[in-house]
Amino acid sequence: MIFFNHDYYIWGIVRNKGKKYDMYLHNYKEALLYYLYLVSSKNKVYSGFRALVNISGRTLRYLLEICNEIFEIAIANEKFLYVEPKAISYKTQTDAIYEISNKRVRQISAIPEIEINIRTFIIALGKICQAHHKELRISKIEPNHFSIKSSSGKIEENIGIFLKEYITRGVLIKCKNSKVKNANYIGADEYLYVLHPIYTLSFQISWRRKQKIEFDIKEINTLISNNTAKITSLDKGTQPIVKCNG
């Protein structure tokens, strides 16, 4: 790890404190690591095939793209040879993963026919999630997805069109909200909208689906407005207020 020479020793001490600390470790270990990496302005390290599969969101083209980038960097920097393969360093794997994630964010395009700028929304969402990851009190554990709160239980048509485009393009993943309080009620918060894991590393946030952020209709309309001034003023209980540069 980057931060501690004796990180496993430290976690071992915490484990020996008892059940309370063991539960804290289980719930907050990854969140604390993301916090430490962010406040230290360092990239979290990723390596191993399982990590590649998870970060690719089990999307084959993303997995192949990451693997190709890893081999290209390894050939250039580590003199890797296919005829005599050897282990590739975690640094090369990490650099390749971040490169592909950043590339994917840069390549997000606008949809002029319905006047929605996908990139502006994703950057805003990513920065809101990142702001939560940088909170010392960790009020939200590794957020990278959201639900929509509506007093009427319905989503406005313009928001529905917007979300459909994101899901179709694979930027957001739509899934059932298993924690809806009333199982007999079907409303706007019936679904969760998860940022595809391939985009999460660009914002140095977790790819794991832990705790959600809840937006109301007004906030969602602000996020899809493409009005950077309004988006910048949006504060989801994080400090500092999120800034979106597009």
pLDDT in tens, 1-47: 333 333 454 455 555 556 666 666 677 888 888 988 898 898 999 99
pTM, to two decimals: 0.81
Nearest Cα residue to 51 out of 43, 65, 63:
63
Q: Which residue has the higher pLDDT, 137 or 182?
A: 137
Say which amino acid occupies 120. Answer: T
Indicate the range of 14-18, 98-102, 124-128, 208-212 predicted with least confidence. Answer: 14-18
- For the chain, the domains span 7-39, 49-106, 113-233
Indicate the range of 165-169, 187-191, 209-213 predicted with least confidence. Answer: 187-191
Residue 195 has pLDDT above 80, yes or no: yes
Q: Which residues pair with 213 in a beta bridge?
A: 146
pLDDT at site 12: 56
Let me know if 84 is exposed, middle or buried by CB neighbors in 10 A (0-12, 13-18, 19+): exposed
pLDDT tens-digit readout, 198-242: 999 999 999 999 999 999 999 999 998 888 888 887 765 554 444
Say which amino acid occupies 215. Answer: F
Residue found under tokens 């209980």: 237
- Contact between 197 and 54 under an 8 Å Cβ cutoff? The reply is yes
- Contact between 195 and 213 under an 8 Å Cβ cutoff? The reply is no
Q: Which residues pair with 147 in a beta bridge?
A: 214
- How far is the C-alpha of 239 from the C-alpha of 216, rounded, in Å? 19
Q: How many CB atoms lie within 10 A of CB 58?
A: 10
pLDDT tens-digit readout, 47-63: 999 999 999 998 999 99
pLDDT at site 4: 37
